[in-house]
Amino acid sequence: MSKNLLKLARQLIEYADESIVIKKSLESAPLDKKNYYNDQLKSILFSTQDVLLSFSKELKELNIKEKKKSVKVKVRKKEIQEFVKSHTKKKKKSKEFKIYKSNILSKVSNFFMEDFAFFLSKKYPEFTDKLVKDLTLANIRILSKSYISMMLFFTAMAFPIITAIAFIALLKIWLALLIGIGSAVLTFFIFLKYPSYEKVTRAKLIKQELVFAMIHMSAVASSGATPIKIFKLLSDSKEYKHLQPEFERILNYINVFGYNLTTSLKAVAASTASPGFRELLYGLASTIETGGGMKEYLNSKADDALINYRLDQQKYLEVISTYSEIYTGILIAAPLLFIVTLAILERISPELGGISISKIALLSVFLVIPLLNILFILLLEMSKTES
């Protein structure tokens, strides 16, 4: 820094000190001397202005001199392009927004049954609306009209195909027709109930992940991250397989459709299968709207979720211990006693009710016991805590 600039800087400091002293004197001075101090303060301000102008001129002159001293460097255009290319990172294509693509089965089904599907939707809206809602909540990535068309098409195709197969196998037309009708009704029922089953299953899976996702969100929020950044981090982590589509939908509403955060949260909450996740999103939206503390809200929700998770696990362990005793009695001890009894009966009489005891034993070992084990496994799955 030049000598002139240092001198001007010292003058500015002196004027500042003087103005502070005069201002204090002005506050405590009587009314007849206030004008005197005001005049002094004005003169100092004017002097300060002059010094500032001189200071700015000196700075400009100094900058001009420095620029003149700078050495001119010739850089080729090609070198600049290569430098920019080497230091520019390629942006990854966003995978957040996904488009539903129709498959061959849906195309064929729409070709034959699309008009009938539209007719059913208009004629029986209470029937199709529930199906459409279940498809959305189950996150089945197919258009509702295409799903209805597939349901009708496969039901129509099941009757002739199964009837023909049953007739070839049994050579009885009436029995084949009954089997064909039954298969068509079963196909229609499976298509009808599958979205509802998938919705319930998905709600359970989301509930299992939600506890750990809340803890993760609480930790990220404690670091001062914004709500959008929280959902972005959880989506990119790939740790929550069943919650990730929900996070992606929130980000899509914001980044693709231009919704604000609270609207996006409410839209996803209205179409999620999990009541717990729905409550969390509505709570986040109301917290943001009312200006509440995001960190405090997520911390309290994470603590409550962890306590409930531990209680649910304790209940499930108690149920499992009860079922293990039932399993030991019915599917381990009882079959052993039954086989021993059959072995004793075979010594007395080789047949029981016209059926050989050896056949009864084979059927019990290879059919009844495996079937009972399958039913027990299904019972265990059903006993899991629901959302």
* Residue 39, amino acid: D
Mean pLDDT by 10 residues, the chain (387 residues): 65 71 69 66 68 68 58 52 58 48 82 89 85 88 89 94 92 91 94 92 90 92 88 90 91 90 92 92 92 88 90 87 89 88 84 81 88 88 62
CA distance linking residue 118 with residue 38, whole number of Å = 86
Whole-model pTM above 0.85?
no
CA distance linking residue 253 with residue 264, whole number of Å = 6
- The β-bridge partners of 386 are none
- Please report the pLDDT score of residue 357 as a whole number: 84
State the helix-helix crossing angle for 369-382 and 294-327, rounded to 10 degrees.
Answer: 160
Which residue's structure tokens are 């809200």? 297
Q: Are 345 and 339 in contact (CB under 8 A)?
A: no
- The β-bridge partners of 4 are none
CA distance linking residue 92 with residue 189, whole number of Å = 44
